[in-house]
Structure 1
Amino acid sequence: MLMKFADLGLSDELLRAVNDAGYDEPTPIQASAIPSVLMMRDVIGVAQTGTGKTASFVLPMIDILAHGRSRARMPRSLILEPTRELAHQVAENFEKYGKHHKLEMALLIGGVSMGDQIKALEKGVDVLIATPGRLMDLFERGNILLTGCSLLVIDEADRMLDMGFIPDIENICTKLPKQRQTLLFSATMPPPIKKLADKFLENPKTIEVARPATTNINIKQIAVPVRQDKKRETLRTLLRQDEVRNAIIFCNRKTTVRELNKSLKRSGFSSGEIHGDMDQPARLAELELFKSNKVNILVASDVAARGLDVKGVSHVFNFDAPWHPDDYVHRIGRTGRGGATGIAYTLVTPEDAENIDNIEKLIGQKIERIANPLAAAPDSEAQESESASPRRKRASAKRETEAEAASAAPKKSASRRRSASADKADAAPIGPSRKAAPAPAKSPRKADAAEPAAPSEPASAIRSPREEGAAIDWNGPIPAFLDVRLGV
């Protein structure tokens, strides 16, 4: 018998949010971890990316934090993530599942202004999602107190180890109350992580789950290298070039979804959009337009990657390479369903190299690379030029020929002048006794005046030395009839 989320002891408000997100059945790690977290036990979760581990701590945390109030500069819970992208993803999970709860959240990551983060901390937050570096920076400045934090999550612990964050984590743990609940998640358990768990977790329950299933063999996966400023043009080319019946295009951000949908509509595509800022009725309406083929392209954020079942989707496009590998598996799984075949394209910028490596490690295979099609297929403006009528093409060619002829005439005249000057120079006697005359010095008063150009002599005015009656030097043998020594 399959377990449902309703069997895990979550509140009705949380179950509604989970259902709105399109989930009904928990993954193995969610089914094992959620009841233990709700019972306030320490937990070690050993799970690969793609097993749903984020929701396994976010969901029970929301229900735990629903009872209590936040205080200024004293967060009630702390989630540590190794990268900004992962921190963003966890924050999005809190927004998605906590929409029926009145919880305050703050995101402390580098690369953004501290001002807004400090303001949020001064108001008081229920959950603080942070990278170790920014958290320690604000702590040392006196902007945050961790003495009120009763729940700590250390996510991606083995990745923290790789990035050198373990000393920071140990330092942070000493700032928190000893009486707290600690959850540690890691894909592997190398000795330093085991030592960290033994030091800071008390009688933890260890949950280990198997590697997630690989991607569907019916889906042809293709990676396309692209510059960031050429992504839209490349996408339009692929949409026109390939036989796309209908497609879902995934973006990492909601703003990108909106902007890309507008761009596609301006280019003549029939597209719609679906993302987290839309309420449920609006999302269902857009989805119905896509299912009924009134629009054949749906631009979506990851809110649509799970629980979205549309038959006959021929293509999936990752306009943005997903930040997290498990999102890749869920995204491309929207095609190739029910035994059908599908194609999944991922646009890969140089900045996406690490993300693609992580995806390939997760799915256990290399994604096929192809050349960017822009070199072979022009965009819409070039296509319009190519599809011009034959009469317009002939007129354009005639104009180009006339322009070339007009520009060639002065070039020929200049060429003749250069040739004449060269001939004249060659005819002048050159010998050791000939010395170049020094150039006359210009007077200071006339230094800035423009000298008149010497008139060029036309080619027809240049005569040979014979025509000028000039003496001809002869260096060859003397003909017999001219040799006076022969008495001729």
Structure 2
Amino acid sequence: MTFEELNLDPNVLKAVREAGYTQPTPIQSQAIPHALTARDVLGIAQTGTGKTAAFTMPMITLLNKGRARARMPRSLILCPTRELAAQVAENFDTYGKYCKLSKALLIGGVSFGDQDRLIDRGVDVLIATPGRLLDHFERGKLMLTGIEVMVVDEADRMLDMGFIPDIERIFKLTPFTRQTLFFSATMPPEITRLTEEFLSNPVRVEVAPASSTAENVTQRLCRLHPSKKENADREKRDLLVSLLRDQGDALKNAIIFCNRKRDIGAVHKSLDRAGFAVGALHGDLDQSVRTATLDGFRDGSVRLLVASDVAARGLDIPSVSHVINFDVPIHSEDYVHRIGRTGRAGRSGLALTIVLPHEEKHVDKIEKLIEKTLESIDPPGGDAPRPARAPSADPTPEAEPSAERSRPRRSRRAADVKAPATIEAEAEAPAAAEPEAAQVARAAPTPEPQRHVEPRRNDGRRGRGDGRRDRADRGEPVIGFGDHPPAFVMRPVVLPKATRSAAVSESEEADEAA
């Protein structure tokens, strides 16, 4: 089948030929005919199979006749992320460049004033994220009563991001006569309930089993056993660098997915220090930075893109050669979307996932979802840390110093005490070996004065209290300063006049008594 057989507008066909496409993908060939007849469509297909073109081409054909009114868009496309919304807008620019249709992109990180001016002029196609769309509606700048065609892209991602209440509210603001198109790679039960509530007799187009992965993407696991728990993050980053270098020339570019935003910064710095051209992408970045990073990744100036799951849905970069899961995704459906960034448009790709021991439970869920057992590979070059070996019975020489350090340190006094055998051996040693003066000194040793240490009280103070007498009570002489008293003792003291008179009187009385 060719695009000419799909009854598309001639201007759309002209743009498709200029884009280089000749044959539609399975999801396009089956969904476009139903969409052109104004039927509700529920499309399920793998990522990278052309779902965006499957609803943009028939929408342009249907909307090419008519005119939009101020603040009342004719069609609405809801996307979960800014990047996906911007990519849908690019598709409209590509396929609708020969059609006089106006569009507006309502996403966060952009001025409300610029978006208000576009809406005031009237737009045929309104592409928005749910939060920013409701912000414009609550400000009274937008009415949804003129919606003819409504598209929900990546519906399961809306569920994961908590947009389902907003989606239900938006549906109730649109007319019930609208045409509704649902597209996604996975279809959880919650999304199925939503489609049953808001779609009218939809045509289900399923070109591949839900949650299946492309056969042209090679999937491998690389298990890491950290030496210590506190070293896991660092050793994981080292393993990532080794995996990238081991790919050699086969690595054209790669998207590296992390579960947490704080890990994105650490991985980005690690790869930058390793000499890679790397960029970061997550939801907290300013929109201008996110756009510049994606543009650099597309033109090749950024070779590695460290990203959160904002890059896992609908990001269309055809030439991505590798996808690496630095963290195993907690939700198994996210794995399908992540590895769908490679192997697009029939190309081959490689998806590698680094697995820590506590992430094995997530791997089991992924294998159950995709109904496939993932093959494991060894770390490149044996650089990845291995589990620490158990200590052997015979300690190695390197282990002996640590054993010595673990022993209690002996006191200096205890080290100076000699064993009795040593004392006897020294006493029996020949005296001739000693100098004559030393022998005389040994024969008549000079007695050293014994120092007296006052007994210590039970409360830690010196003095009486333990039943012993002090030196004065035992009649021993009290040793004072001797011939070297300190200077402060010898300093003359001037007594008060009254005290001097009393002292003189006492002295005279003592003399008379004597």
> Pick from 245, 248, 253: which aligns with 1:249?
253
AA aligned to 2:182 is: L
Pairs within 5 Å for 1:278-427: 303-305=316-318, 316-318=322-324, 325-326=336-337, 328-329=339-340, 331-332=342-343, 343-346=350-353, 363-365=370-372, 367=374, 376=383
Match of 1:92 among 70, 87, 90: 87
1:45 aligns with 2:53: no
1:148-179 CA distance string (max 9 Å, x none): 32211234556656777555444323322344
Name the SS of the counterpart of 1:172 in structure 2.
helix
Larger radius of gyration between Structure 1 and Structure 2: 2
Aligned partners of 1:276, 1:182: CA distance in 2, in Å?
30
Quickly say closer, same or farther: Cα 1:156–1:93, change in 2 above 3 A.
closer
Residues in 2 aligned to 1:98 and 1:354: alpha-carbon distance in whole angstroms: 44
CA distance, structure 1, for counterparts of residue 181 and residue 382 of structure 2: 50
Matched, 1:152 2:150: yes
- Secondary structure of 1:244's aligned partner: helix
Tell me whether 1:63 sits opposite 2:61 in the alignment: yes
CA contact (8 A) 1:72 1:124 kept: yes
Contact conserved, 1:74 with 1:124, CA < 8 A, in 2? Answer: yes
Q: CA deviation at 1:31?
A: 0.7
- Is 1:267 the counterpart of 2:275? The answer is yes
Q: 1:24 to 1:304 in 2, by over 3 A?
A: farther
The amino acid across from 2:275 in the alignment is: S
Greater mean alpha carbon deviation, residues 243-252 or residues 145-154: 243-252
Aligned-partner Cα distance in 2 for 1:115–1:98: 22
Give secondary structure in 2 for the equivalent of 1:45: strand
Pick one of 237, 247, 259 that aligns with 2:242: 237
Query: What corresponds to 2:138 in structure 1?
Result: 140
Name the SS for the 2:352 alignment partner: strand
TM-score (norm 2): 0.50
Contact 1:14 1:98 in 2 (8 A): no
CA distance change for structure 1 residues 64 and 335 in 2, over 3 Å: closer, same or farther?
closer
Is the 8 Å Cα contact of residues 85 and 128 (structure 2) preserved in structure 1? no
Match runs of 1:18-37 below 5 Å? 18=16, 23-37=21-35
What does 1:423-462 correspond to in 2, within 5 Å?
429=453, 431-433=455-457
CA distance in 2, matches of 1:365, 1:246: 25
Look up the equivalent residue of 1:89 and give its one-letter code: L
Query: Between Structure 1 and Structure 2, how many residues are aligned?
Result: 353
Q: Which amino acid aligns with 1:305?
A: P
Q: Are residues 333 and 124 of structure 1, via their aligned partners in 2, closer, same or farther at CA, if it must alter by over 3 Å?
A: closer
Report SS of the residue matched to 1:98. helix
Per the TM alignment, residue 369 of structure 1 is displaced from its structure 2 partner at its CA by 7.1
One-letter amino acid matched to 2:456 = P
The 1:330–1:23 alpha-carbon spacing in structure 2 relative to 1, beyond 3 Å, is farther
User: 1:24 and 1:230, CA in 2 relative to 1: closer, same or farther beyond 3 A?
Assistant: farther
- Describe the shift of the 1:324–1:63 C-alpha distance in structure 2 as closer, same or farther (beyond 3 A): farther
8 A Cα contact 2:45 2:206, kept in partner: no
Moved more, 365-374 or 26-35: 365-374
Distance of aligned partners of 1:158 and 1:369 in 2 relative to their CA distance in 1, 3 Å threshold: same
Distance 1:59 1:133, change over 3 A: same
**1:323-363 deviation line (CA, Å, top 9, x unaligned):** 783562461479996xxxx85435799xx999999976764
3-state SS, counterpart of residue 456 of structure 2: coil
- Asked if 2 retains the 8 angstrom alpha-carbon contact of 1:324 and 1:355, the reply is no
Quick one: percent identity of the two aligned structures?
Answer: 38
1:47 aligned partner, one-letter code: I
Q: Deviations over 1:447-469 (max 9, x none)?
A: xxxxxxxxxxxxxxxxxxxxxxx
Contact 1:75 1:127 (C-alpha < 8 Å) held by counterparts: yes
Counterpart amino acid of 2:74? R
Residues 104-183 of structure 1 mapped to structure 2, 5 A cutoff? 104-108=102-106, 117-118=115-116, 120-122=118-120, 124-157=122-155, 168-183=166-181
1:211 is paired with a residue whose SS is coil
**Structure 1 letter corresponding to 2:220:** Q
The worse-fitting range, judged by mean Cα deviation, of 141-150 and 12-21 is 12-21
**RMSD, matched Cα:** 5.8
Contact 1:276 1:303 in 2 (8 A): no
C-alpha change, 1:104 and 1:354, in structure 2 (3 Å) is: farther
Structure 1 residues 419 and 276, CA gap change in structure 2 (3 angstroms) = closer
Secondary structure of the 1:431 match is coil
| Structure 2 gaps, min length 5 | 225-230, 258-263, 278-292, 306-310, 386-408, 417-450, 463-478, 480-514
CA 1:334–1:94 in 2, change beyond 3 Å: closer, same or farther? closer
- Alignment check: 8 A CA contact 1:76 1:125 kept: yes
- Alpha-carbon offset, residue 133 of structure 1: 4.2
8 Å contact 2:155–2:191 — kept in the other structure? no
Shift of 1:78: 1.0
Give the aligned residue type for 1:331. T
State the Cα deviation string for residues 257-308 of structure 1 (Å, max 9, x = none). xxx9xx8899389xxxxx9859xxx97xx8xxxxxxxx9x9769965526x9
Distance in 2 separating the partners of 1:365 and 1:437: 81
Distance across 2 between alignment mates of 1:233 and 1:227: 10
